[in-house]
């Protein structure tokens, strides 16, 4: 057989048809679109996981803050017994009135300082963070009273909308 005929037959065996041109380009474009949707789905899941992590951190901080106030109440038995921790509501903290860290304070001053410092921390570590204390069943926790309990409430703006009406709350009931 003549080598030129063999070469010619190899070249002309499967000539490309017009319909096959560009078909692989369409496949590549479809693949890119499908992969793009997959990447968007992964990005959405990542964003949701970051939001969930932030919510979890804020809830953990709220639990810590409520427990810290419970410990402050237990540490100031004099203020507890004289009713200094009765019902206290949140007010914006710019500075605390006295400094019980560097000087000795009365039980009442210590209670004021505890509540002020606690709310300053709430404001600092939580979005729109604030706290309140409510004495359950009214009256004061006196030495003659058998039972007294407090609801310690920590509130924060979980969705970061700036709307005070939609704050999330964690409430801890404490019997000091």
Domain ranges, ordered by start, for the chain: 58-174
- Tell me the whole-structure pTM to 2 decimals: 0.74
* Secondary structure (3-state) at 37: helix
pLDDT at 176 (0 to 100): 81
- Please determine, for residue 27, whether its predicted confidence score (pLDDT) is greater than 90: no
Distance CA 143, CA 145 (A): 6
User: Residues with Cβ < 8 Å from 90, sequence gap 6 or more?
Assistant: 119, 130, 131, 132, 155
Taking CA 90 as the corner, what is the angle to CA 160 and CA 134, rounded to the nearest 5 degrees? Answer: 115
Number of Cβ within 10 Å of residue 111's Cβ equals 25
Q: Which residue has the higher pLDDT, 154 or 160?
A: 154
Element (H, E) at 170: strand 168-174
Q: What percent of the chain shows pLDDT beyond 90? A: 48
- Whether pLDDT at 97 is above 80: no
């Amino acid at each position: 057989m003549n080598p030129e005929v063999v070469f010619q037959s190899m070249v002309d065996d499967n000539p490309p048809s017009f319909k096959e041109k560009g078909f692989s380009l369409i496949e590549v474009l479809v693949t890119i679109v499908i992969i793009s949707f997959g990447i968007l789905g992964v990005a959405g899941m990542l964003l949701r996981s970051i939001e969930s992590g932030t919510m979890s951190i804020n809830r953990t901080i709220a639990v810590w803050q409520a427990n810290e106030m419970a410990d402050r109440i237990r540490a100031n038995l004099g203020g507890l017994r004289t009713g200094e921790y009765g019902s206290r509501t949140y007010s914006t903290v710019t500075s605390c009135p006295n400094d019980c860290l560097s000087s000795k304070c009365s039980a009442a001053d210590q209670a004021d300082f505890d509540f002020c410092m606690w709310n300053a921390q709430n404001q600092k570590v939580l979005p729109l963070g604030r706290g309140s204390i409510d004495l359950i069943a009214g009256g004061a926790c006196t030495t003659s009273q058998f039972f007294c309990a407090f609801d310690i409430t920590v509130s924060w703006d979980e969705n970061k909308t700036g709307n005070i009406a939609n704050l999330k709350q964690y409430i801890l009931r404490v019997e000091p």
